[in-house]
Amino acid sequence: MSEAPVLYLVVCAAPPAQRIGELADLLMADGWRPCVIATPIAASWLDCDVLAEQTGYPVRAQWRRPGDPEPHPPAECAAVVPATFNTLNKWATGASDTLALGIINELLGTGVPMHVFPRVKATLAAHPAYGPNLRRLRAAGVVIHDGDVLRDPDEMTSSGWAAVVDALRPARRSAWRERGN
């Protein structure tokens, strides 16, 4: 039997990031091999050693040195969870000033399915750059899911991990089919 498909789980600095290990567990139970890639601030909120042990792959937040081996297998899907205002706007313009942005910018040109689960305040979502940048990402093939999936009534904790897993399930099935499984 083949190994499970690889999902690059790109984590930005929004409150749900603090509980990303819960999502990683659910993704593994659903048949994914998640590889966590965090923005620098998100990485400072995570217990990277625990996540690495949990997933079997190191959490990446910094560029590797030339000649160093690639620590993650190639992605078969990517999910930006939670996706912040800052990351989404930079991504839409092609900025690659963090490893997380560099990776999702590169993946955008590969045809790897890409899913985004925004966690953006209403006041920031009203910014004039936000809507056009989401449209630009959608036009490039990025699937942008309802941002309310990651909101609890108290606005400070994550919920909806099951909805994220459900939204990614068709991509996992597709990855298995492409492998001939």
CB 140 within 8 A of CB 79: no
Q: Among 3.40.50.1950, 3.40.830.10, 3.40.50.720, 3.40.50.300, what is the CATH number of 6-179? A: 3.40.50.1950
- Residue ranges of the domains in the chain? 6-179
**What's residue 156's pLDDT?**
44
Q: Report the chain's mean pLDDT, rounded to a whole number.
A: 92
Mean pLDDT over residues 149-157, rounded? 54
The helix (H) or strand (E) run that includes residue 118 is strand 114-118
Residue 132: cis peptide before it, omega within 30 degrees of 0: no
Whole-angstrom Cα distance, residue 79 to residue 17?
Answer: 13
15-63 pLDDT, tens digit per residue, is 899 999 999 999 999 999 999 999 999 999 999 999 999 999 999 999 9
**What's residue 151's pLDDT?**
65
91-111 pLDDT, tens digit per residue, is 999 999 999 999 999 999 999
CB 105 within 8 A of CB 96: yes
109-119 pLDDT, tens digit per residue, is 999 999 999 99
